[in-house]
A and B are shown apart, each in its own frame.
Chain A
Amino acid sequence: MTLRGMRRLEARRQMEESNFLLSKARSQNLNPPVDFRLLDYVTAYDDNLMCAICRCPFVDPVVLAECDHYFCRDCIRQSWGSTYSPSGPRGDCPQCRTPARLGTRSATSKILVNILDDLLVKCPKHEEGCPVSVKRGEVEDHMNIYCGYAYQECAGERCELPVRRKDADQGCLHFGVSCFDCHETMQKSTLENHWRSECAVRRVTCPRCNMHVLSKDLDSHNSETCEAVSIPCPGASIGCTSRSKRSQAQTHAKSCTFAKLAPVISSQKSRMDEQEAAQKLLSRKLEVLETGFGVMQGILYPKVSVEADDLAADESRIPFLDNSASERTLPPHHPRMFSGDSSGNALSPFDFPVPPTSRPSSAAPGVARRASPIGLPPSESAAALRQHDPIEAYNTNYDLASPGLPPPSTSGGPYVSPLHHLLSMHESLRDEMSRVNSALQELDGRHSMQTLNENLRTREEISYLGAQLAGLSRQVHWLTSTQLQRQSRSATPSAVAGSSSEMAGTSVEAAVNAVSTAATALRGAARMVSVGQGQSSSGSHGPMRRENSAEGRTKL
């Protein structure tokens, strides 16, 4: 049942189509088919109704099933011209480059077609004189049935030449005449058109001002120069409702305040439009910059909160930071850059080399929200976060940590789109990152050199002390042996001598004791140095180190 119904419908549709094609073919002989894409529209139409290819309201619109883009049927066929395949037209969507094929006719919405058909257009013959405006859907009917300027077959006997519909009842006009004025010969049927647009001699009297004007200039006379046509005051756009004959327009304009103000106001308006456009561009740029800044801060924050306690406790780092900063000839405002953030902690550049993966990623959106200063919606910041991949974003830290390097050139002139802007910002951040990376490596090298130097010096000192100690103990030995010899030589003679020798013996013993204490102290120092050597990479803060680091730093 439904199948039969479908078939019947299909058959009827085909018949209608063939009838239509037949009638079209008949009228085509005299009137070429109307190309809807060449029509002039009377009223403004919505941009959404415009085909991206021909920039007219859609003509027989089709939708590409794959991407939902609409085009005129002819437009899309022409742009796919070379990729026409037997299974139907296919190709890439001109707008989004999705591979696509033509959707079925039923897929285009009836509402769209109705809206398009209701648009008012000028008759295609308006340049030849037809004053009619019709709905676009009725243009063909107008041309085929009503338009006085469309052609039809001449009614004259044995004459098959075309004649304008309005002249059809005047009998056959296909006989030679010559223009009264320029004496050019032509057929009667074309005489009117000759006067209208060609004849360089014929003059007519303007019905309004009685002036003699060239016939072909009558249209422009009416619209531009005719003294009798009433025109609106120049101040009409800002409120004057007066209309006056062109001849009196001058006198009115002289007395009309609106007319005097109009040029000033219009120039102001154009300047304001200009400013507004510029401002829009700037605010767009600002937005992009803010988002980028928010991302940077968002990555800066989690580390601050994690390491804040360690930093605050470890004061010895701060002088170290100041020192290294001044030696790298950073601008004086450098420390302030760190105090500027809300936690108020000084960040040493050495605190950053945490692998990016260790950053708590769940904290990032929340931080970004906190960091975006001027009410950017959180979703936007989060989106911006997503646009930077974590490694790139992570490296933006170095921009803050090493402001001595040139700032990224992202604050430049207008960009075509925020995407362009982001891309260029991305590029400059990448450059910045490699610069900072190499700076960091250099710094690392210097640091290990410094540790090495310190240890070398300490070792030298120890060996020097050891040598001195050896000399001392040699002296003590010599003293002891001479004392003993002297003792054995004068052992017998007197008790006084004996008591004196006893006193000498105790003094020697005291000297030996002192030497051994010194040796112990030296051993202790040596141990400490070896411990310091082991810890130097993680930074030990023994008295020895603090003493030597003053020298070490000058080398850094």
Chain B
Amino acid sequence: MAGMSGKRLQKELAKIQGVLPPGITLVSAPDLQTWHMDLRILDNPLYPPHDHYRLKFSFSKNYPIEAPEVVFLRLTTDPRRDIPIHPHIYSNGIICLDLLDAQGWSPVHNVESICISIQSMLASNTKDERPPGDAEFVRSNRARPRDINFLYHDPSV
């Protein structure tokens, strides 16, 4: 099983080092467990096109049967990265996206398709706000993203 995960990630990495859709770049993949990707939103005044956002992917040995853990990172040193404002992204970087939880995940998804989904989720956003109860959540949450049961309060976004 671990073998399959590694093999698939190797293949994805080889593909990702080739051509990627505009606005998505691979920053580093030091091992096959953790990847860093940079995201740029090209089409939304809420996110200036020159701002990059850093995504961190963590793969379990059950990938792709199990979804990877995907969060935004805040970097305070150069290069600076912030966490995009979105009603489904908490200020600690946790993303509330049905694709990434156990019910919504499908093993046919991959790093590229996840990046595209997050990118289009941001591109279609019109609200300059955090999810309701963000401060409370960020203060109290100690669970890993995959163990959180999000309520998809607004499936249209």
- Chain A contacts to B: CB under 8 angstroms: 35, 37-38, 52-56, 75, 78-79, 81, 92, 94-95, 97, 277, 281, 412-416, 420, 423-424
Contact = CB atoms under 8 A, between A and B. Distances in A.
B64 A53 contact: yes
B73 to A, nearest CB: 23
A93 B124 CA distance: 28
Nearest to B124: A424
A56 B21 contact: no
Contacts of A423: 124
Given A35-B3, A37-B7, A38-B3, A415 B43 contact: yes
B108 A95 contact: yes
Contacts of B110: 55
B65 A81 contact: yes
A414 B22 contact: yes
A414 B116 contact: no
12 contacts: A35-B3, A35-B4, A38-B7, A55-B8, A56-B7, A78-B107, A94-B107, A413-B49, A415-B120, A416-B21, A420-B123, A424-B124
A412 B7 contact: no
A94 B43 CA distance: 30
A37 to B, nearest CB: 5
A277 B19 contact: yes
Contact of B4 (A37, A412, A413, A420): A37
B43 A54 contact: no
B107 A420 contact: no
B28 interface: no
A412 B43 contact: yes
Interface in B1-38: 1, 3-4, 7-8, 11-12, 19, 21-22
Contacts of A53: 64-65, 107-108
Contact of A52 (B22, B108, B116, B120): B108
A414 B42 contact: yes
A35 B8 CA distance: 13
A161 B7 CA distance: 30
A54 B4 contact: yes
Interface in B74-126: 106-108, 110, 116, 119-120, 123-124
Given A38-B4, A79-B65, A97-B106, A55 B12 contact: yes
B71 to A, nearest CB: 22
Contacts, number: 60
A79 B22 CA distance: 31
Contacts of B21: 416
Given A53-B108, A416-B119, 7 more contacts: A37-B4, A52-B107, A54-B7, A54-B64, A55-B11, A79-B106, A92-B106
Contacts of B11: 55
A408 to B, nearest CB: 14
The 10 closest A-B pairs by CB, nearest first: A413-B43, A413-B42, A52-B108, A94-B106, A53-B107, A412-B43, A79-B107, A94-B108, A38-B3, A78-B65
A52 B119 CA distance: 22
Q: Which of A35, A55, A281, A413 has the most CB of B within 10 A?
A: A55
Contacts of B65: 53, 78-79, 81
Nearest to B5: A54
Contacts of B108: 52-53, 94-95
A54 B8 contact: yes
Contacts of A424: 124
A414 B23 CA distance: 10
Contact of A75 (B22, B42, B107, B124): B107
Nearest to A37: B4
Nearest to B102: A82
Contacts of B106: 79, 92, 94-95, 97
A410 to B, nearest CB: 10
Contacts of A277: 19
A550 B106 CA distance: 69
Q: Which of A92, A281, A415, A423 has the most CB of B within 10 A?
A: A415
Q: Which of B12, B22, B65, B120 has the most CB of A within 10 A?
A: B65
Contacts of B116: 416
B137 to A, nearest CB: 28
Contacts of B123: 415, 420
Contact of B120 (A35, A92, A97, A416): A416
Contacts of B7: 37-38, 54, 56
Contacts of A35: 3-4
Nearest to A78: B65
Q: Which of A53, A75, A277 has the most CB of B within 10 A?
A: A53
B20 to A, nearest CB: 11
A233 to B, nearest CB: 25
A38 to B, nearest CB: 5
A37 B2 CA distance: 11
Interface string B110-146: 1000001001100110000000000000000000000
A187 B1 CA distance: 30
A460 B135 CA distance: 67
A491 B123 CA distance: 106
Contacts of B119: 416
A81 B19 CA distance: 34
Given A53-B107, A54-B8, A414 B43 contact: yes
A81 B65 CA distance: 9
Q: Which of B4, B21, B110, B116 has the most CB of A within 10 A?
A: B4
B139 to A, nearest CB: 33
A281 B21 CA distance: 10
B74 to A, nearest CB: 25
A420 B120 contact: yes
B124 to A, nearest CB: 7
Contacts of A281: 22
B144 to A, nearest CB: 19
A82 B116 CA distance: 28
